[in-house]
Amino acid sequence: MIESRCGISCSQCHYKEEFNCKGCLAINKPFWDDSCPIKDCCEEKKHSHCGECTNFPCTLLIGFSYDKDQGDNGLRIENCRCWKQNCK
């Protein structure tokens, strides 16, 4: 099941409860800023998530995924890859 545009597993994210975050699929504006560049990019291209893009994984997604403070060492990239292939 697709949980986000970038591949974050919202069901396992501590921000879900801490900030009452509904996830980028259900909100217009993220709690942390005026916008999210990954969410904006996916929605502009009419993609459900980054894995549907011909430029996947792009430098923007890679940067988010391997960010030293908020990254997940590529897990979100693998989630998008799996969502595209309908993995379980």
Indicate the pTM of the whole model.
0.88
By three-state DSSP, how is residue 44 classified?
helix
pLDDT tens figures, 53-74: 999 999 999 999 999 988 999 9
Neighbours of 78 (CB within 10 A): 16
Q: Report the alpha-carbon angle 27-86-38, nearest 5.
A: 35
Q: What is the pLDDT of residues 28-49, one digit of tens each?
A: 888 888 899 999 999 999 999 9
For residue 59 the two structure tokens come to: 């430098």
